[in-house]
């Protein structure tokens, strides 16, 4: 069997790349060893958003019922149903991808792929049979898995990664989360909302260290209010896993030993290289690619998490489309430089473009506009006054260098600013755009005005 393209991996890079190639009239196969949709749909973005929705609702009813005029005699939740809803959502989505493969006539092959050489992939299916597939082009999109701490391996019970954290049979009484990136922060919010005692440990001076410092600080403040113990600038010096819990010695503002039932290690990921032919790697062991997403072997391409950061589903899909269009059309593939980042704790955090820190480091001239949701009518009406919109405008032309939103629907609002950056809009175009009233997104308009002394409500 000979294809125009074989994609290894069915996640947001793999399935999107496969479908785009099929749309271009190519004969395509996609090999996946687990389930179509990859980490994103099955063990990442989607099931965690389901869990977080449960957490938000429960937290609202438990802590703010009276404010909205509700009263419950006996507010309860069923942990297993919380987890089951998340799994059902993931299953439905994965089935949706399998349907899309069919619709686009992509051969979906279940099994473990090995890259024999350029043009040849062998696939071992679960029944032990091996078949050889040939293709003019191969796209590697095998992704990443959670990275363990040195000398503190995952054991599936007390030391876990994000994958186990979303299907715990029993809610832990206490959890220590090491690493306060998006994954660590989202699980901290989730477990805390349901009453687990959460300690969040981060080595860097702030949680969500890639976000604008003001965004990080806003979430730290909110977390403290919610009862999460946040230890920033804190290093793990010793970690021990016992039968019924963990003991973690840390050094930060003070040295102490923390104890909990479970430890979630969310310090990062490691690449999941496909077996077979070895390819040139980056210093962090991701697959090295050219501007056209080609690996060190001609005819073999790679996209998504496997080629290194930013490790985001939407970036992975973009890269795969660029790679595939580069293979089969005259399109000159583009590399990712501007992309949104979203964290779905409450308040949510969303950003696109440069942080104020980065703008300073790059020596750029800029102006900052900021508007707090506490001054927004809609935010007051829906009872979500935490957070702000912060925009960074280049000088002298007023182009948008970066946008940072903390608040209830931050992740739904960042799209406008991504489009603005792509179109190279300046403050004037945002200013000239009528934003619907009453919406939270009016804050984007007002933050723009604030930078140029034109804001009305502040």
**Residues marked as catalytic:** 437
CB-count exposure of residue 142 (10 Å: 0-12, 13-18, 19+): buried
Range in contact with other proteins (rule: CB under 8 A) among 83-91, 137-145, 301-309, 426-434: 426-434
Nearer of residues 244 and 337 to other proteins, judged by Cβ: 337
Query: How far is Cα 441 from Cα 447, in angstroms, rounded to an integer?
Result: 10
- Examine residue 426 and tell whether it contacts other proteins (CB under 8 A): yes
Query: Total residues contacting other proteins (rule CB under 8 A)?
Result: 11
Shortest distance in whole angstroms from residue 317 CB to other proteins: 17
Shortest distance in whole angstroms from residue 429 CB to other proteins: 5
Nearer of residues 74 and 337 to other proteins, judged by Cβ: 337
Nearer of residues 147 and 367 to other proteins, judged by Cβ: 367
- Examine residue 338 and tell whether it contacts other proteins (CB under 8 A): no
Which three-class secondary structure state does DSSP give residue 417? helix
Nearer of residues 365 and 397 to other proteins, judged by Cβ: 397
- CA–chain centroid gap for 434, Å, is 31
The region, left, alpha or beta by phi > 0 then psi within -120 to 50, assigned to residue 67 is alpha
Shortest distance in whole angstroms from residue 419 CB to other proteins: 11
Among 278, 280, 362, 422, binds other proteins (CB under 8 A): 422
Among 292, 357, 424, 437, binds other proteins (CB under 8 A): 424
Shortest distance in whole angstroms from residue 426 CB to other proteins: 5
Cα 305 to Cα 113, 187, 272, 343: the distances in Å are: 17, 21, 9, 18
The answer to whether the CB of 112 falls within 8 A of the CB of 33 is yes
Among 423, 437, 454, 456, binds other proteins (CB under 8 A): 423
> Which H helix or E strand runs over 7?
strand 2-8
Shortest distance in whole angstroms from residue 445 CB to other proteins: 16
Shortest distance in whole angstroms from residue 435 CB to other proteins: 18
- Examine residue 34 and tell whether it contacts other proteins (CB under 8 A): no
Among 425, 440, 444, 455, binds other proteins (CB under 8 A): 425
Query: How far is Cα 384 from Cα 285, in angstroms, rounded to an integer?
Result: 43
Among 428, 433, 437, 454, binds other proteins (CB under 8 A): 428
Whole-angstrom distance between the N-terminal and C-terminal Cα of the chain? 66
- Examine residue 397 and tell whether it contacts other proteins (CB under 8 A): yes
Relative orientation angle of helices 213-226 and 182-193, to the nearest 10 degrees: 20
- Examine residue 434 and tell whether it contacts other proteins (CB under 8 A): no
Question: Which tokens sit at 393?
Answer: 């405008």
What x-and-dash track marks residues 6-25 binding other proteins by CB under 8 A?
--------------------
Among 186, 212, 399, 409, binds other proteins (CB under 8 A): 399
- Examine residue 65 and tell whether it contacts other proteins (CB under 8 A): no
Shortest distance in whole angstroms from residue 292 CB to other proteins: 17
Nearer of residues 246 and 444 to other proteins, judged by Cβ: 444
- Examine residue 398 and tell whether it contacts other proteins (CB under 8 A): yes
Range in contact with other proteins (rule: CB under 8 A) among 3-11, 259-267, 390-398, 407-415: 390-398
Range in contact with other proteins (rule: CB under 8 A) among 215-223, 295-303, 358-366, 393-401: 393-401
DSSP designation for 24 = T
Among 429, 438, 452, 458, binds other proteins (CB under 8 A): 429
Residues 6+ apart with CB under 8 A from 78: none
Among 396, 434, 436, 453, binds other proteins (CB under 8 A): 396
Range in contact with other proteins (rule: CB under 8 A) among 29-37, 108-116, 418-426, 450-458: 418-426
DSSP calls for 187-252: HHHHHHHTT-EEEEE-SSSSSSTTS-HHHHHHHHHHHHHHT-EEE-S-EEEEEEE-SS-EEEEEES
Query: How far is Cα 223 from Cα 227, in angstroms, rounded to an integer?
Result: 6
Q: How many CB atoms lie within 10 A of CB 353?
A: 24
Query: How far is Cα 176 from Cα 132, in angstroms, rounded to an integer?
Result: 46
The answer to whether the CB of 106 falls within 8 A of the CB of 45 is no
Query: How far is Cα 355 from Cα 340, in angstroms, rounded to an integer?
Result: 12
CB-count exposure of residue 151 (10 Å: 0-12, 13-18, 19+): exposed
> Which residues are near other proteins by CB under 8 A?
396-399, 422-426, 428-429
């Amino acid at each position: 069997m000979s294809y125009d393209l074989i994609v290894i991996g069915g996640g947001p890079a793999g399935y999107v790349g496969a479908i785009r190639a099929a749309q271009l009239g190519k004969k395509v196969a996609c090999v996946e060893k687990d389930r179509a949709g990859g980490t994103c749909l099955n063990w990442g973005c989607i099931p965690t958003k389901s869990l977080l929705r449960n957490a938000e609702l429960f937290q609202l009813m438990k802590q703010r019922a009276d404010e909205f005029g509700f009263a419950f005699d006996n507010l309860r939740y069923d942990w297993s149903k919380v987890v089951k809803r998340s799994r059902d959502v993931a299953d439905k989505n994965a089935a949706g991808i399998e349907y899309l493969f069919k619709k686009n006539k992509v051969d979906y092959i279940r099994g473990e792929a090995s890259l024999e050489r350029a043009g040849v992939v062998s696939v071992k299916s679960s029944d032990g049979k091996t078949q050889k597939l040939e293709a003019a082009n191969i796209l590697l999109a095998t992704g990443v898995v959670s990275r363990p701490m040195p000398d503190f391996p995952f054991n599936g019970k007390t030391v876990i990664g994000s994958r186990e954290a979303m299907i715990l049979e029993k809610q832990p009484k206490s959890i220590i989360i090491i690493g306060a990136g998006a994954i660590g922060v989202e699980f901290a919010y989730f477990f805390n909302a349901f009453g687990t005692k959460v300690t969040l440990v981060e080595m860097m001076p702030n949680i969500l260290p890639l976000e604008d410092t003001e965004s990080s600080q806003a979430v730290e403040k909110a977390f403290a209010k919610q009862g999460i113990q946040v230890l920033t600038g804190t290093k793990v010096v010793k970690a021990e896993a016992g039968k019924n819990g963990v003991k973690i010695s840390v050094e930060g503002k003070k040295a102490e030993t923390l104890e909990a039932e479970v430890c979630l290690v969310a310090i990062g990921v490691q690449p999941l290289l496909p077996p077979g032919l070895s390819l040139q790697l980056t210093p962090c062991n991701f697959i090295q690619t050219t501007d056209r997403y080609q690996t060190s072997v001609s005819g073999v391409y790679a996209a998504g998490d496997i080629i290194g950061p930013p490790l985001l589903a939407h970036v992975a899909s973009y890269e795969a489309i660029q790679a595939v269009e580069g293979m089969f059309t005259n399109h000159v593939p583009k590399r990712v430089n501007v992309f949104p980042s979203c964290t779905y704790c409450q308040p949510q955090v969303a950003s696109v473009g440069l942080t104020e820190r980065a703008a300073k480091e790059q020596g750029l001239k800029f102006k900052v506009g900021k508007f707090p949701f506490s001054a927004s009518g809609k935010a007051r009406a829906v009872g979500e006054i935490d957070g702000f919109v912060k925009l960074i405008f280049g000088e002298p032309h007023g182009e948008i260098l970066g946008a940072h939103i903390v608040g209830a629907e931050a992740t739904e609002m960042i799209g406008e600013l991504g489009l603005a950056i792509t179109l190279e809009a300046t403050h004037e175009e945002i200013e000239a755009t009528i934003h619907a009233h009453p919406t939270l997104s009016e804050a984007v308009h007002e933050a723009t005005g604030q930078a140029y002394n034109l804001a009305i409500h502040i």
